[in-house]
Structure 1
Amino acid sequence: MILRQAELKDKKEVLVIVNELSLDIPDFVWDKEEFVQKQIQNKEYFVIEDGGRLAGVMSLRSRRNKVSIETLAVRKEFQLKGLGSRFIEFAKQFAKEKGFNILHAYSFSEYRASDFYLKKGFKIMDDHGYYKNHKYDCFELEI
């Protein structure tokens, strides 16, 4: 399996993966074609490819003093095979190379990803956010 930067040719398959795991939130920006295309063009999207098929996707954004994981999604048939862990390790290295020492991750509570991030060494932040009445958790990892 190859972890690489997403290219515009990946957009359709990225959208399929993101939409497989999307929540029923009106006007959810993260699964919109225009938003995904912009993130790919800005070199913020990364993919894991297996035999020419995308197995997982992750978007990273550098802001202020941190790098944030905004999207991390793995196709159901590839879950529990270490792809999420591989993305986290990549994100840590990416942040270090950019000169950042903090990695943030955001996840809607409905995704039940807290245990995953905590096992990876993240700390859950006290301040929770809400997006259109859907609670999300913020995680932080010092690297």
Structure 2
Amino acid sequence: MNLRKAEPKDKKNILEVTNLLYLDIPNFIWNTDEFVDRQIKNGEYFLAETEGKTVGIISFRQRKNKMYIKTLVVINDRQSEGVGTQLVEFAKKFTKEKGLNVLRACSFYEYKTVDFYLNQGFSLLEKPGIYEHHKYYRFEMRI
């Protein structure tokens, strides 16, 4: 698997993968042109590729002294093959390279990803987040 920084030419491909995340929530931004454009422009979007095909994506956003995983998606036919684990390992490295030691991730209840994040070494924060009346899990890892 090759991991590389996304470029503007990757936008269409990224949007196809992020559409796997779509939930019918007002103001759902993670699969919008604007969000993807901004993340690419800021150098915060990365693609995981195998044989030239995108198998996963991850994007970040730094807020104060913490790094946040904004998007993490593995295509359906490559789940449970370690792609997500490799993306989290990359996230740890990326966080350290930025001089930070706290990595956070959020996931809507509908995604059912608690076990994945706990298996990666994240702790589940006690208080859930709420976005447009939809609860999401909040995870944190010290690295």
Per the normalisation by structure 1, the TM-score is: 0.97
Are 1:7 and 2:13 an aligned pair?
no
The amino acid that maps onto 1:72 is L
Task: Quote the residue 1:97 is aligned against.
Answer: 97
User: Alignment partner of 1:100: what SS?
Assistant: coil
Task: Quote the residue 1:108 is aligned against.
Answer: 108
- Over 2 Å off, 4+ runs: none
Task: Quote the residue 1:87 is aligned against.
Answer: 87
Are 1:63 and 2:74 an aligned pair?
no
Task: Quote the residue 2:126 is aligned against.
Answer: 126
Task: Quote the residue 2:142 is aligned against.
Answer: 142
Deviations 1:77-101 (A, max 9, x none): 1111101000000000111111101
Question: 2 CA distance for matches of 1:122 and 1:35?
Answer: 25
The within-5 A match list for 1:13-24 is 13-24=13-24
Q: Which stretch shifts more, 76-85 or 20-29?
A: 20-29
TM-aligned CA deviation for residue 21 of structure 1: 2.3
Question: 1 CA distance for matches of 2:51 and 2:128?
Answer: 38
The within-5 A match list for 1:47-58 is 47-58=47-58
Question: 1 CA distance for matches of 2:78 and 2:93?
Answer: 23
Stretches of structure 2 that go unaligned for 5 or more consecutive residues are: none
TM-aligned CA deviation for residue 27 of structure 1: 2.4
The amino acid that maps onto 1:91 is A
Q: Which stretch shifts more, 79-88 or 19-28?
A: 19-28
Question: 2 CA distance for matches of 1:104 and 1:4?
Answer: 21
Question: 1 CA distance for matches of 2:82 and 2:137?
Answer: 22
